[in-house]
Amino acid sequence: MREKAPPRRKFMKGDLDEAIVGSEIIKEPTREERNAQRTRENDREKLASWVPKTDLGRKVKSGQVTNLNQIIDSNQKILEQQIVDKLINVKTDLLLMGQSKGKFGGGKRRAWRQTQRKKKEGNVATFSALAVIGDEDGHVGIGQGRAKETLPARDKAVRKAKLEVIRVRRGCASFDCSCDKLHTVPFVVEGKAGSVRITLIPAPQGTGLVAGNEVKKILKLAGIHDVYSKTFGKIRTTFNLAKATMDALEKTNRRLE
Ligand SMILES: [Zn+2]
């Protein structure tokens, strides 16, 4: 009888890994990464060519003021967004405040709120956006912008959010957590805006953000990792929900009596 030929070895996934070990793998950046990179470069260039118009701006540019807390604690008004750009590592996000219009029933959540006013010539559309900025380390701000187009509305919103930046005190105050990291709110805080009420409650490490998506975005950029929350009122109104959240975060600066 003839001997059976040894079974041919299948090509396995691991073989490829072996082959590329040692040679450097250059991953193609995704479109998002490339865009982010480009924005970062643009921002850096803009910051370098910034000519401050206010006293505070000049002090920040010359390096006399190097800490954002200094500005916020002394109640100085920030009038130039570059001040914030220069002092903290700003990350931005858009809250979904609007809804899609027209076909397919509309109503899907969108970052742009589209409104119209009636003119003799027809309807004129205006877009507004709600931006949140923060450094994920105790600084956060929200702002609303309106413009005839979507992107200028976003830019205005981001600028306003930077000017309205607040400080958020964090701590570890949950009864079942005893680390000394700054990961949650230092005590129970309540915020309100319109009919919306929100309560933020300290949570132990690993809890995550127990809150709605839009509230989560704000808390994340503020640098809070764990929190429980409760909301009341018409939380569908993103604007009031965001404002109430900011109101609550602002109250972390108050000392317990
Ligand atoms: Zn803790």
Measure 169 CA to ligand 1 centroid, in angstroms.
Answer: 14
Distance CA 86, CA 66 (A): 9
Measure 204 CA to ligand 1 centroid, in angstroms.
Answer: 5
- Per-residue model confidence as pLDDT tens for the chain (257 residues): 566 776 676 666 556 555 555 555 567 778 888 887 887 788 778 888 888 888 898 988 888 888 888 888 888 889 999 999 889 988 999 999 888 877 777 778 888 998 999 999 999 999 999 999 999 999 999 999 999 999 999 999 999 999 999 999 998 877 778 788 899 999 999 999 999 999 999 999 989 999 999 999 999 999 999 999 999 999 989 999 999 999 999 999 886 55
Measure 186 CA to ligand 1 centroid, in angstroms.
Answer: 10
Measure 178 CA to ligand 1 centroid, in angstroms.
Answer: 5
Measure 234 CA to ligand 1 centroid, in angstroms.
Answer: 32
Measure 256 CA to ligand 1 centroid, in angstroms.
Answer: 18
What region does 107 belong to: left with phi over 0, alpha with psi -120 to 50, or beta? Answer: left
CA 146 to chain centre: 19
First vs last Cα of the chain: how many Å apart? 95
Letter for the amino acid at 6? P
Measure 246 CA to ligand 1 centroid, in angstroms.
Answer: 22
- pLDDT reported for residue 142: 95
Question: What is the DSSP annotation of 183-209?
Answer: -B-SS-EEEEETTEEEEEEE--TT--E
- Walk me through the domains of the chain, giving residue ranges and CATH numbers: 35-87 (no CATH), 189-253 (3.30.230.10)
- pLDDT reported for residue 256: 55
Measure 230 CA to ligand 1 centroid, in angstroms.
Answer: 20
Tokens of 27: 């991953």
